[in-house]
Structure 1
Amino acid sequence: MERTREDLGPDLAVTGSTGWLGGLVAGDLANRGVAQRLLVRDASRAPGLQRAAVRECTYGDRAAAERALAGVRTLFMVSAAEQEDRLQEHLTFVDAAAAAGVAHVVYVSFFGAAPSATFTLARDHWATEEHLKASGMAWTFLRDNLYLEFVDALVGQDGVIRGPAGDGRAAVVSHDDIARAAVAVLRDPAAHVGRTYDLTGPEALSFADMAAVIREVTGRDVSFHDETVEEAYASRAAYGAPDWQVDAWVSTYTAVRAGELDGVSDDVERLTGRRPMSLREHLQSKHSQP
């Protein structure tokens, strides 16, 4: 007997619900009473949310992805974990979505995604965007800037942020603002077909600026050291990471130096109705908690 759409489950699918972004988006949708299908690698790790059905699949397993996506109309696609074959996983998953009859993909991309982007992983995001455009499905791209929550983690044990970023600036944006923007799109996807949104914070900061904000809010002695590219590769060699990963780490900074993460957008506020959080506000909130 042919299964009905009700048998297949909700027609909104959310990936990454066991991670920070997908988890925030899925939780917000559940709090609003929205039915959704959570696509996860391991069902035992899926959050227990009201009106949520759980399906197991991976981006790289096309057959499993097609089964999990059967009956889905709108798909929220968080980019896969950083790994050498991430782009191929993205392309496989997009093909599975098209084959399953998905109508619209909302994809989490990266600010300034382009084939010649300095940040190596931004090139993969551009290739994924192009594959989505060619798939026949409707699309919406959410291009995130650097995460402001990550800034604290860049400070070494000696209180120094190191990288070859020069005086370049990045419009760092919070996890919560990205998630709220995504939910706004998913609640009315038809209004956002064919749109690309640049999700940024309210200001563009150099790494020296970021160090100063951390210093002022926390009282820590934090500074920025502008490495040469050669110094950057040498200082990261001790981690024993593969070449592609080290290239991604270093090119995060060189992309900032090249001005490719500069520029403040009002897209977060237009989508959510709220001004995005600044780095200072984030740190003040974090360090005021008991």
Structure 2
Amino acid sequence: MTTLAVTGATGVLGRFVAQELADRGLQQRLLARTPAKAPNLPGATVHRFAYDARDETAAALDGVDILFMVSASESAERLEQHRIFVDTAATAGVKHIVYTSFFGASPTATFTLARDHDITEKYIAATGVGYTFLRDNLYLDFMDALVGDDDVIRGPAGAGRVSAVARIDIAQAAVTVLTDPEAHAHKTYDLTGRESLTMTEIAKILSAHRGSPVSFHNETIEEAYESRKRWDEPQWQYDAWVSTYTAIAEGEMARISPHLEQLLGHPPLTLREFLAGAPAS
């Protein structure tokens, strides 16, 4: 009997995936750093793990065939955590890893964290374990959070576009892969929404949703770094935040891919539909 394991079940995306698997009557292991925070789902057992804790993770993955690997939290140590986790999974006998990567992952991506995802993809592939890479674009779920206290979205995105995608759509696509991994072995899917919007257009949609004006201010790169210094963070974090917008300006997040609709069997949500609470079917 195939054994499924899901990381990130205490977060939004992993919880969506775990819930969908449970709704289908499938048994699974939920891997959680804090087991008490994991959802209580039928057919699910909870196992303690950490990306860089070899012994705990080896025990949690013992006998697992298919692994949903949500990327670790953003940190200076994330790449090393990924390497340890992937090594442990391979040694434990995991046969297929479904990894949440990022749209446009490459060594030369403008968005700095997309380069880290490229490195992780290559590391997984080099183990010889089966894999599927889900390259998610920015989440529609975060668009409203981009708005500052002054009702302004600020960043050096220019007139660039982003084909943002809803996490619930990503989760349902992930379940399609997890329940038939052989059909998706050694494939990379670019997962985007079905529209590509500028920040000005996003602000207009958010204005209609909120019933109050939201605007977009196209910061210079220097302004973007300065405005983010209100938070005391390391330089790599500032670089990641600012390069999210410069990648949009460069057109690297604009393309609309058919992959998500193919996996879902229906069109993915638009920003207006997401904000209205429309179901993803």
**Within the alignment, does 1:55 sit opposite 2:55 as a pair?**
no
Q: 2:254 is paired with a residue of what secondary structure? A: coil
Q: For residue 201 of structure 2, what is the aligned residue in structure 1?
A: 209
1:252 partner letter: T
C-alpha distance in 2, partners of 1:217/1:26?
30
Q: Give the ranges of 4+ consecutive aligned residues of structure 1 lying more than 3 Å apart after TM superposition.
A: none
Aligned to 2:97: 105
Distance 1:121 1:33, change over 3 A: same
Q: Distance in 1 between matches of 2:273 and 2:62?
A: 42
* Matching of residue 83 in structure 1 with residue 101 in structure 2: no
Question: What is the rounded CA distance, in whole Å, between the counterparts of 1:93 and 1:278 in structure 2?
Answer: 34
Q: Which residue matches 1:282?
A: 274
Identity of aligned residues (%): 55
Equivalent residue of 1:143, what SS? strand
What are the equivalent positions in structure 2 for 1:1-290 lying under 5 Å apart? 11-285=3-277
Counterpart of 2:136, as a letter, is D
CA–CA distance in structure 2, aligned partners of residues 20 and 73 of structure 1: 23
Q: Specify every segment of 5 or more residues in structure 2 that has no aligned partner in the other structure, as ranges.
A: none
Unaligned 5+ residue runs, structure 1? Answer: 1-5
Scaled by the length of structure 1, what TM-score is found? 0.93
With structure 2 as the length reference, what TM-score do the two structures score?
Answer: 0.96
AA of the residue aligned to 1:270:
Q
Tell me which amino acid in the other structure corresponds to 1:262.
A
Give the superposed CA RMSD: 1.2
CA–CA separation in structure 2 for the residues paired with 1:196 and 1:236: 33
Structure 1 Cα separation of the partners of residues 186 and 229 of structure 2: 41
Give the deviation of 1:47 after TM superposition.
Answer: 1.1
Q: Matched residues in 2 for 1:54 and 1:157: separation? A: 39
Per-residue Cα deviation, 1:187-235 (whole angstroms, up to 9, x for no partner) = 1111100111111111111101101111233322111110000000000
Amino acid at match of 1:182: A
State the number of aligned residues. Answer: 278
User: What SS class does the counterpart of residue 87 from structure 1 fall into?
Assistant: helix
